[in-house]
Amino acid sequence: MKQKIYVVGIGPGAPKMMTPQARQALEESDVIAGYPVYLKLLGDLVQNKKTIATPMTREEERCRLCFEEAKKGCIASIVCSGDSGVYGMASLMYDLLPEYPGCELEIIPGITAAVSGAAVLGAPIGHDFCVISLSDRLTPWEIIEKRLSAAADGDFCIAIYNPSSKGRPDYLKRACEILLRKVCPERMCGYVRNIGREGTEYKICTLEQLKDEQVDMFTTVFIGNSQSHVVKGKLVTGRNYHINTHMQKEN
Amino acid sequence: MKQKIYVVGIGPGAPKMMTPQARQALEESDVIAGYPVYLKLLGDLVQNKKTIATPMTREEERCRLCFEEAKKGCIASIVCSGDSGVYGMASLMYDLLPEYPGCELEIIPGITAAVSGAAVLGAPIGHDFCVISLSDRLTPWEIIEKRLSAAADGDFCIAIYNPSSKGRPDYLKRACEILLRKVCPERMCGYVRNIGREGTEYKICTLEQLKDEQVDMFTTVFIGNSQSHVVKGKLVTGRNYHINTHMQKEN
**How many CB pairs (< 8 A) connect A and B?**
241
pLDDT at B247: 39
Percent with pLDDT over 90 in chain B: 84
| Residues in chain A within 8 Å Cβ distance of B9 | 115
Q: Do A241 and B20 touch (CB under 8 A)?
A: no
Mean pLDDT, rounded, of chain A = 93
B218 and chain A in contact, CB less than 8 A = no
Are A85 and B119 a contacting pair at CB < 8 A?
yes
What helix, strand, coil percent values describe chain A, rounded to 5? 35, 25, 40
Q: Is the pLDDT of residue B243 over 70?
A: no
What is the rounded distance in angstroms from the CA atom of residue B173 to the CA atom of residue B67? 40
Q: Which CATH superfamily is domain A114-250 in?
A: Tetrapyrrole methylase, C-terminal domain (3.30.950.10)
Residue ranges of the domains in chain B? Answer: 4-111, 114-239
Residue A86 burial class via C-beta count within 10 angstroms: exposed 0-12, middle 13-18, buried 19 and up:
buried
Contacts of B142 (CB under 8 A, 6+ apart): none
pLDDT of residue A127: 97
Q: What is the pLDDT of residue A99?
A: 96
Q: What's the pLDDT at B58? A: 84
Residue range B174-184: average pLDDT?
Answer: 98
Give A34's contacts (C-beta < 8 A, 6+ positions apart).
A42, A51, A52, A53, A62, A78, A79, A80
Fold classification of A4-111 is Cobalt-precorrin-4 Transmethylase; domain 1 (3.40.1010)
Residue A246, pLDDT > 50, answer no
Contact between A238 and B95 under an 8 Å Cβ cutoff? The reply is yes
- Using the Cα atoms of residue A97, residue A103, residue A109 and residue A112 in order, give the sign of their dihedral: negative
* pLDDT value at B207 more than 50: yes
Q: B80 and B7 in contact (C-beta within 8 Å)? A: yes
Name the pLDDT band for A245 (thresholds 50, 70, 90).
very low
- Banded model confidence at residue A4, pLDDT cuts 50, 70, 90: very high
Distance from CA of A59 to the nearest CA of B (A): 11
Q: Which of A8, A17, A92, A94 to probe by mutation at the B interface, max B CB count within 10 Å? A: A94
What's the mean pLDDT when you consider all of chain B? 93
Whether residue A109 and residue B128 make contact (CB cut-off 8 A), yes or no, is no
Please give the average per-residue pLDDT across B18-43, as a whole number.
Answer: 94
User: Of A20-34, A142-156, A231-245, where does mean pLDDT reach its minimum?
Assistant: A231-245
pLDDT (tens digit per residue) in B93-116: 999 999 999 999 999 999 999 999
User: What pLDDT does residue A239 have?
Assistant: 83
Amino acid at A49: K
At A250 the pLDDT is 40
The band of A208, judged by pLDDT with boundaries at 50, 70 and 90, is very high
**CB-based contact A11 B19, cutoff 8 Å:** yes
pLDDT one-digit tens code per residue, A82-125 = 999 999 999 999 999 999 999 999 999 999 999 999 999 999 99
**What's the CATH code, domain B114-239?**
3.30.950.10
Indicate whether B61 pLDDT > 70.
Answer: yes
- The pLDDT tens digits for B5-25 are 999 999 999 999 999 999 999
The 10s digit of each residue's pLDDT in B122-176 is 999 999 999 999 999 889 999 999 999 999 999 999 999 999 988 889 999 999 9
Contacting B residues, span 80-99, partner chain A, CB-CB under 8 Å: 83-88, 90-95, 97-98
Q: What pLDDT is stored for residue A166 in this prediction?
A: 86
- Chain B from 223 to 242: CB within 8 A of any A CB: 231-232, 234, 236-241
Q: Give residue B247's Cα distance to chain centre.
A: 29
